Structure 1
Amino acid sequence: MLDSTAAGLATGLSLIVAIGAQNAFVLRQGLAREHVVPVVAICAVSDLLLIVAGVAGIGTVVERAPAVVEVVRWLGVAFLTWYGVRTLLGARKAAGLTAGGGRRTSLRSAVGRATALTWLNPHVYLDTVLLLGSIANTHGSDGRWGFAAGAGAASLLWFSGLGFGARLLSPLLARPRAWQVLDVLIGVTMLAIAVSLALG
């Protein structure tokens, strides 16, 4: 059981620790110190739900319904394109930056973006539901839930570390210009991911 949990933790971290739209957003909210708890909670709980679904066998349904994944893919392309363009346009407006180093984001907006960046990403269904679910089921009927617990813990550790640990970098972003650079990087990342999704 412990071996399965450790395997789940390692596999979960290997899949989640990568530059992506969701991670970029969590990092930005952590740096701005805005709504970090709900954003981290949405990302971690969503991952946990998807992992449990994969281990429970929902991955088979996803695998047999490529049209659903295709719809999610194009919704993701549209959202990431909108978010990327919006972020790049916002980076041009130094007046829109606060003394704390970023444009204020409402709780509703932060929650909406975190939810969209999680559930409109087709890779989350392929990686978290299909891949993790398939690997978990190689650990047998007992070990698979230990694997799921390890993978869920990986998500919680990663998003918590990213969201709450980001404040350690805040001295580097004390000036509005630094936030503009960050927004440009995030906007370009979002658009790059949108293009990669569009190209399949």
Structure 2
Amino acid sequence: MDAYFAGMLLGLAMITPIGPQNIFLINQGFTFGVPRVFVAVVAAGVCDTVLISLGGAGTSAVLNRVPGIKSFLLAAGVVFLTYLAVKSFRSRPEDFDQSTPPEMRWRRVVAQCTSVTVFNPHAVLDVVGILGVAIAAQAPDHRPIFAAGTVSASWLWFTLLALGASTLRRWLTPQRRVWIDRGSGTLMLVFAALFLGELLRS
């Protein structure tokens, strides 16, 4: 069990810092609440499970040999995060009319969550690489247990994040939601700018 908890601690250390994926989940919790927010939780959890599994299988070494892969992911990340930011800035109080439940299109939620994850080069390259190395460093019989710990950390964090946002949802007026969306859009633009700067330097 030591390997499991070591993997969980490493997973939590890597997943808890604020990033596009966490911002997306918080917004889903604010918008839809429980139980519909769990569509986003499952989508994010599956994405991280796949990335961690790929890291454990040594995919990071393959990705590092593919020319232009990081530049492509950075460029895609800039475009997609800018799109999400513009969408957030265009929100209005009437978009959050609490008298009628917001419509959820689960395919769109899954697609957006997947894009936020896949078009984040740090998630694809850094997380896959770091966790891949950490998994490979374990004794062979401990590797599956360690990997299970890192996967559990992602699912636990995403669930807590969604539940926390859903709990706060009842105190959010439409006007507050607009300001939260603007704050979210600003953070998305910050990450887009960081990705763009990294792209120009590469």
Write the mapping of 1:51-90 to structure 2, written as runs, cut at 5 A.
Answer: 51-90=52-91
Pairwise CA RMSD: 1.8
Question: CA contact under 8 A between 1:32 and 1:102: conserved in structure 2?
Answer: no
| Equivalences for residues 60-139 of structure 1 within 5 A | 60-90=61-91, 93-99=92-98, 104-139=103-138
Q: Does 1:145 align with 2:149?
A: no
Q: Whole-Å Cα distance in 2 between the matches of residues 52 and 179 of structure 1?
A: 36
Deviant stretches of 4+, over 3 Å: 100-105
Q: Cα deviation per residue 1:73-106 (whole Å; 9 max; x = unaligned)?
A: 110110001111111122xx22222226996453
User: Is this contact kept in 2: 1:63–1:130, CA < 8 A?
Assistant: no
In structure 1, how many angstroms separate the alpha carbons of the residues matched to 2:101 and 2:130?
37
Instruction: Find the aligned partners of 1:121 and 1:102 in 2 and give their Cα distance.
Output: 31
Change (3 A) 1:134 1:101: farther
Distance 1:102 1:16 in 2: 30
Q: Which amino acid aligns with 1:159?
A: F
- Cα distance in structure 1, aligned partners of 2:99 and 2:14: 33
Q: Quick one: distance in 1 between partners of 2:171 and 2:94?
A: 19
TM-score using structure 1 length: 0.91
The letter for the 1-side match of 2:189 is: L
**1:190 is matched with which residue?**
188
- Does the 8 Å contact 2:32/2:166 carry over to 1? yes
Q: Whole-Å Cα distance in 2 between the matches of residues 32 and 120 of structure 1?
A: 23
In the alignment, which residue of structure 2 is the partner of 1:159? Answer: 158
| Cα distance in 1 for residues equivalent to 2:152 and 2:90 | 36
**What SS does the corresponding residue of 1:142 show, helix, strand or coil?**
coil
In the alignment, the residues of structure 2 paired with residue 101 and residue 135 of structure 1 have an alpha-carbon distance, to the nearest angstrom, of: 47
Q: Which moved more, 1:94-103 or 1:178-187?
A: 94-103
Instruction: Indicate the residue corresponding to 1:8 in structure 2.
Output: 7
Gaps of 5+ in 1: none
Distance 1:184 1:97 in 2: 14
- Residue type of the partner of 1:27? I
Q: Confirm or deny: 8 A CA contact 2:32 2:102 kept in the other structure.
A: no
Which 10-residue stretch deviates more, 105-114 or 148-157? 105-114
Residues 174-199 of structure 1 show CA distances to partners (whole Å, capped at 9, x for unaligned) of x1111011101110010000000111
Q: Report the residue type matching 2:55 in the other structure.
A: G
Between the two proteins, the alignment pairs up a number of residues equal to 196
CA distance in 2 between counterparts of 1:191 and 1:3 reads 40
TM-score of the superposed pair, with normalisation by structure 2:
0.90
Quote the sequence identity (%): 33
* Larger helix share, 1 or 2: 1
2:49 corresponding residue in structure 1: 48
